[in-house]
């Protein structure tokens, strides 16, 4: 590689260091760890809390509809649901046809959510305290907008 090629590569790498995708993933890892730590006494991780809450909000829902609402592919979602099913927090049942699977909270899942909600609120408060409530609300709105915008253009 010539010195010019090397310098050009370095210029491109400096540009890539400002990658929005990397910034979002770094923030997601940091915030995810905060929620994981906060929810540990309830025996679940932040991602599991989100799944339980999403299922709880929709009552009995199909895996496909849940995947769409969470912007996940069905295979990944199914893989993430299985530990919650094995732990007795969720139950799976056949849907209207053989291809559809429905997911719902069990009583143990509802109990876990009741235990986890105050812990989750503490994590939410830490984020709001760090950013300020207005900035935290704007961030959530901006991220929701970004998720919708990227999906529309894909």
The answer to whether 48 and 84 have CB atoms below 8 angstroms apart is yes
Q: What is the pTM of this model?
A: 0.84
According to CATH, the topology of domain 40-153 is Arc Repressor Mutant, subunit A (1.10.10)
pLDDT digits (tens, 9 = 90+) for 64-96: 999 999 989 999 999 999 999 999 999 998 878
Helix (H) or strand (E) holding 48: helix 46-58
Burial of 128 (0-12, 13-18, 19+ CB in 10 A): middle
Domain spans of the chain? 40-153
Distance CA 16, CA 5 (A): 16
pLDDT digits (tens, 9 = 90+) for 33-45: 999 999 999 999 9
């Amino acid at each position: 590689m010539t010195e010019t090629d090397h310098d050009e590569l370095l210029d491109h790498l400096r540009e890539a260091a400002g990658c929005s995708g990397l910034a979002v993933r770094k923030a997601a890892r940091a915030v995810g760890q905060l929620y994981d730590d906060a929810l540990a006494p309830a025996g679940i991780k932040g991602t599991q809390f989100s799944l339980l809450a999403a299922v709880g909000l929709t009552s009995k829902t199909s895996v496909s509809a849940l995947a769409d609402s969470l912007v996940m592919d069905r295979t990944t979602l199914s893989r993430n649901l299985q530990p919650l099913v094995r732990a007795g927090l969720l139950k799976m049942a056949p849907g209207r046809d053989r291809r559809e699977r429905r997911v719902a909270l069990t009583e143990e899942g509802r109990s876990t959510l009741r235990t986890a909600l105050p812990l989750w609120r503490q994590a939410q408060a830490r984020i709001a305290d760090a950013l300020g409530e207005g900035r935290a609300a704007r961030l959530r709105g901006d991220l929701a907008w970004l998720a919708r915008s990227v999906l529309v253009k894909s």
